[in-house]
Amino acid sequence: MGKSLNAGYIGRKMSKRGYEALQKGELPLSMLTQKKLLKVGIAHSLSFIRWLCKRGYIKPTSWHHRGNPPTLTRFYHPKRIARQLESLPVERLLEEWKAWRGY
C-alpha cells in the first residue's frame, strides 16, 4: 500500500502544522477579527492592521499551507501584532493608510 498523498493535511483545507498554529492562537489574516485585536489592546481598525501586515510592516509569526491546491499562508498572533505596533511610527503609517484609502 502506498503512502497517503494527504498525510500532512487535516481534510483538504489545512496542514497539520497550520492547525497546530491555530490552536496556539495564530491566525491567517482572513480569520483575524476586530474582537481579537481588542482583546489584546489594539484599538486600530482591522482594515489598518491588515494593511500593515500585507505591506510587511507587521511580520508574520509563521507560514503554513492551506487549501487545495495548497497555497502558502502567513499566520499572525494578535499578541505579536500588538508588540510589533509598539516599535512602528503608527501615526505616520495611519496617515499613509488614509491617503491610500482616499480619505
pLDDT value, residue 2: 46
pLDDT given for residue 71 in this prediction:
81
Look at residue 84 in the predicted model and tell me its pLDDT. Answer: 98
What residue ranges do the domains of the chain occupy?
Answer: 9-101
Give pLDDT, residue 9.
66
- Segment 10-36, tens digit of pLDDT: 665 777 888 889 899 999 999 999 999
Name the residue among 90, 102, 30, 35 with its Cα closest to residue 66. Answer: 30
CA distance 86 to 73: 24
Q: What is the pLDDT at residue 50?
A: 98
For the chain of 103 residues, list the mean pLDDT of each consecutive stretch of 10.
Answer: 56 77 93 97 98 98 80 94 98 97 87
Q: What is the pLDDT of residue 6?
A: 54
Q: Which three cell numbers stand for residue 75?
A: 499566520
Which class for 78: exposed (0-12), middle (13-18), buried (19 or more C-beta within 10 A)? Answer: buried
